[in-house]
A and B are shown apart, each in its own frame.
Chain A
Amino acid sequence: EDQVTQSPEALRLQEGESSSLNCSYTVSGLRGLFWYRQDPGKGPEFLFTLYSAGEEKEKERLKATLTKKESFLHITAPKPEDSATYLCAVQGPTQGGSEKLVFGKGTKLTVNP
């Protein structure tokens, strides 16, 4: 069974204090690893998809990396507006036409000014 574990559950940073969020996964045949951002009361907002170990993607202050067992979301010099819950999800092999994502529980990031 595909599993995703995110750590830490919550993270508090000072503005400008860089850090990383971790997503460990178990999946038989990874087709894609996804990062989403979710603000309170809203649906998840797509950030990145990574497909293979060694791949990296960047967007503003965020950079996502992927290994065979985990992904990291690096946040460089965060600002208060980066405060949100960050969700990681994996997509395993197509079985019976399934395209479902398996999500972790998320990391709640708070950036204090």
Chain B
Amino acid sequence: GAGVSQSPSNKVTEKGKDVELRCDPISGHTALYWYRQSLGQGLEFLIYFQGNSAPDKSGLPSDRFSAERTGGSVSTLTIQRTQQEDSAVYLCASSLVPDSTEAFFGQGTRLTVV
């Protein structure tokens, strides 16, 4: 595709339910990143993929959060047993090479936990 695509664009879920957020990176981009943006806060790093492996998972807030990437392309971020503090915009970005200076971001998924 022309850009990074994320789905759904909006998700409202009940506390305690599991959610899956999807990211389709730009074709050919080997590096993929997940960030979270809470109201009034800066972007918070979650996880980084190089190909299908994740050299840096240090930003995942708890073991309720997990992510995978398959075929060096699509990535899924899963949040189990959602809590209200998980409400945020989840942003995915991809770049051509690992230390790329130009990461392209998707539009984000706005997650609301009620």
**Which A positions have Cβ atoms within 8 angstroms of B?**
4, 31-32, 34, 36, 41-46, 49, 87, 89, 91, 94, 96-106
The 0/1 profile, CB within 8 Å of A marked 1, for residues 53-92 of chain B is 0011011000000000000000000000000000000010
Contact of B99 with A87 in the complex, beta carbons under 8 Å = no
Instruction: Give the complex CA separation of A99 and B99 in angstroms.
Output: 6
> B58: shortest Cβ distance to chain A, in Å?
7
Taking A43-B106, A99-B56 as contacts, is the C-beta distance between A106 and B33 under 8 angstroms?
Answer: no
By the criterion CB–CB under 8 Å, are A105 and B45 in contact?
no
Whether A100 lies near B91 (C-beta < 8 A) is: no
30 contacts between A and B (CB under 8 A): A34-B101, A42-B108, A43-B4, A43-B108, A44-B43, A44-B91, A44-B105, A45-B105, A46-B102, A46-B103, A46-B104, A49-B101, A96-B56, A97-B48, A97-B50, A97-B56, A97-B98, A99-B48, A99-B50, A99-B98, A99-B99, A100-B45, A100-B59, A101-B33, A101-B45, A101-B103, A102-B45, A103-B42, A104-B42, A105-B40
Instruction: Give chain A nearest CB distance to B113 CB in angstroms.
Output: 19
Q: Given known contacts A44-B43, A102-B45, is B99 in contact with A94 (CB within 8 Å)?
A: yes
A46 contact set on B, CB distance < 8 A: 102-104
Tell me, yes or no, whether B93 is within 8 Å of chain A by CB. yes
CB distance from B71 to the nearest CB of A (A): 20
Residues of B within 8 A of A (CB): 4, 31, 33, 35, 40-45, 48, 50, 55-56, 58-59, 91, 93, 98-99, 101-108
Q: Are A4 and B42 in contact (CB under 8 A)?
A: yes
> Are the C-beta atoms of B102 and A49 separated by less than 8 Å?
yes
Residues in chain B near residue A96, CB distance under 8 A: 55-56
- Shortest Cβ distance from residue A76 to the other chain B in the assembled complex, whole angstroms: 23
Nearest-Cβ distance from residue B46 to partner chain A, whole angstroms? 9
Q: How far is the CB of B93 from chain A (nearest CB, A)?
A: 7
Question: Is A106 in contact with B42, judged by CB distance below 8 angstroms?
Answer: yes
Cα of A44 to Cα of B35 in the assembled complex, Å: 11
Q: Other CB < 8 Å A-B pairs besides A42-B108, A100-B56, 7 of them?
A: A31-B99, A45-B105, A46-B104, A49-B101, A98-B48, A100-B48, A103-B43
